[in-house]
Structure 1
């Protein structure tokens, strides 16, 4: 989740969700913006917006949504073709 400095307007979080659409959502990770389409990451499709916004970066290549119990490697977002979808959620 993003935390902003009220005085400076500077993000103090290394990761934040910047936009959500009906197709997926965008993450800002440092200076890199990543898109997670619901077609590739169906675990988020029916999730509450507040739960999607609550994302943590436990390590440089590990994202975690604690309220959804979802762990993702950053590389799986950058190169989803290298990480076959393993889910029982229907598309």
Structure 2
């Protein structure tokens, strides 16, 4: 009997810590700090919504329950991407 796994490959990404000030994202062998000051969309999100993260391609992360797309560049250098609000 042989077994096969159907579906698409999913790259490794995981939220490893959630605190009152930040979240930590692990991808590959590196962990990235994401403060709520720089990423305020996560501050009032549920734990389930924060933990539901996908990596559709290398260096691209998506939280489907929150409709948040972030690149590794944004996570590493949030100062280069000031927040903008559209009302």
TM-score (normalizing by structure 1): 0.79
Q: What is the deviation of 1:42? A: 0.3
Q: Deviations over 1:19-45 (max 9, x none)?
A: 111001001010010011001000011
Report which of the two structures shows the higher radius of gyration computed on alpha carbons: 2
Runs of 4+ aligned structure 1 residues displaced above 2 Å come to none
The DSSP-based 3-state class of the residue aligned with 1:64 is: strand
For structure 2, the 5+ residue unaligned runs are 1-9
CA RMSD across the alignment: 1.5
* Structure 1: tracts of 5 or more residues without a match: 1-11
Length, aligned pairs only: 77
What corresponds to 1:72 in structure 2? Answer: 70
